[in-house]
Amino acid sequence: MRKKFLFFTLLFYGIYAACMYVYIFHMGTGQIPASLKGSVADPAVFMSKHELLLSEEYSKIRNYLFFVVTPFEWIIYLFILIAGLSRLFEKWAISKAKSTVFRTAIYVFWLNFISYVLLLPIRYYSYHLSMEYGISNQKLFSWLKEGWIDFGVNYIMSAIVMATIYWLMQKSLKNWWLYTWLLSIPFTIFVMFVQPVVIDPLYNDFYPLQNKELETKILTLAEKANIPADHVYEVNMAEKTNAMNAYVTGIGNNSRIVLWDTTLNNLTDREILFIMAHEMGHYVEKHIYYGVAGYILLMLIGLFLTAKIMNWSVRHYGSVLRVKKVSNISSMPLFLLITSFLLFVSSPVSNIVSRYQEERADQYAIALTGDHEAAVSSFQKLTKAGLSEVNPPRLIKWFRYTHPPMLERIYTVYDKSQSSNEGNNK
């Protein structure tokens, strides 16, 4: 029964992977609308033929990896269950510790370790791909070190979270999901509060913007937006990547506006001011707080569905999965499989919200700076640096794009510029 179950799972995965390959490489072409060809939104205008070719190849490979790797993770969890590895990890944990908390911590280590090892070749291929296409210039040791840090941080977080969840399961098998959700609210806020000052510095060096003249311009813009800001932070990314980025992170007094040094090195002051005005738009419109609220709501729905699906799965397929009770820590791969699946299928909804917020931030930046030209040129340079797909196929946009595609962003700011000019001429 177990072999049959695993066989059909792998068969279905193979068919799915083949269908996604056909869609991404042969059907899902994001053509530029005829009305926009030759405009500032057309990548053929601001990218060379070689860059266009690289962008198309790189985007297709990355999109395909996204759609096949996530389900592959689910198969790993399924294999760990069906092969009896989960039961083995549980026995080791029980033999080493009496406390549920420490047993869970031991179990989580082995589960994370084997998952990390099995996924390492795919992670390395992604790293090699980014090097091959000139996106990354990170040294192998630096990449490995970052992976070890990832493993350590993820292990600590997972051990805390899973120990709490399985302790609650043993206390209340019926309502553990509700109690978990209630505890997740302060935990989520705490993690977001400490991330800029505790977690992020583990990966990169953050320091106040070194270009004081530019910092003065940014702080003047912040004052114009009624944002109380004393510093803009710069992060050293040039030794890792050629891509550019800026973002807002954290909440409360620990919130930060961060610029990658690659952004500083490749954009003009006007373009950087537009980018910073965009990030200020997120702050002014409280997108971080809405994001936290949305995450907490999705957590409630997700935990409720996870509890229902886990109960049903163990009740009907417990013998196949080698799980006797939901509250046994050997059920953890099932928990992770279900939650990962729910996150995957819900991502189009969360991405719609994110794209709306990014569009609002673009509008705010234009209103604050009035610099349509800098907006267009900054979007063009971001596209070239990241070899971004400016007009992805619909399915790719739904599942992958937290920002509006660059075709839409460039056209929107350019169209408003044209409308503004026509209004002024009248």
Give residue-wise pLDDT tens across range 378-403: 999 999 988 888 889 989 999 999 99
Helix count and strand count (H, E) for the chain: 15, 4
**Per-residue pLDDT, 190:** 85
- Beta partners for 246? 259
Q: Collapsing DSSP states into helix, strand and coil, what is residue 245? A: coil
Whether the CB-CB separation of 305 and 175 falls below 8 Å is answered with no
Nearest to 379 by CA among 351, 352, 414: 414
| CB-based burial label for 292 (10 Å; 0-12, 13-18, 19+) | middle
Q: What is the pTM of this model?
A: 0.89
**Per-residue pLDDT, 425:** 52
Give residue-wise pLDDT tens across range 89-120: 999 999 988 888 899 999 999 999 999 999 99
Active site residues: 279, 362
Residue with tokens 């860059």: 51
CB atoms within 10 A of CB 337: 23
**Per-residue pLDDT, 305:** 97
Question: In the chain, where are the structural domains located?
Answer: 2-204+286-425
Q: How far apart are the first and last CA of the chain?
A: 76
CA dist 273 and 371 (Å) reads: 9
- Mean pLDDT over 327-345 rounds to 96
Mean pLDDT of the chain: 89
Q: What share of the chain is helix, strand, coil (3-state, %, to 5)?
A: 75, 5, 20
Residue ranges with strand state E in 37-81: none
CA dist 307 and 338 (Å) reads: 9
Nearest to 391 by CA among 52, 22, 26, 50: 52
Give residue-wise pLDDT tens across range 194-225: 877 788 888 888 888 888 899 889 888 888 88
Residue ranges with strand state E in 175-276: 206-208, 233-235, 246-249, 256-260
**Do the bridges between strand 206-208 and strand 233-235 make them parallel or antiparallel, or are there none, so unpaired?**
antiparallel
Give residue-wise pLDDT tens across range 294-322: 999 999 999 999 999 999 999 999 999 99
**Per-residue pLDDT, 415:** 67
- Mean pLDDT over 257-264 rounds to 89
**Per-residue pLDDT, 284:** 87
Give residue-wise pLDDT tens across range 129-139: 999 999 999 99
| Sheet strands side by side (includes 233-235) | 206-208, 233-235, 256-260, 246-249
CA dist 375 and 369 (Å) reads: 9
Determine the residue type at 13. Y
Nearest to 219 by CA among 30, 227, 121: 227
Confidence label for 4 from pLDDT (cuts 50, 70 and 90): confident
Determine the residue type at 74. W
CA dist 367 and 320 (Å) reads: 59
Residue 235 per-residue DSSP state:
E
List Cα–Cα distances, 216 to 131, 151, 396, in angstroms: 36, 39, 40
CA dist 238 and 263 (Å) reads: 9
Annotated binding residues for Zn(2+), written as ranges, equal 278, 282, 358
CB atoms within 10 A of CB 306: 21
CA dist 70 and 66 (Å) reads: 7
Confidence label for 231 from pLDDT (cuts 50, 70 and 90): confident
Instruction: State the number of CA atoms in the 13 A half-sphere of 220 facing the CB.
Output: 9
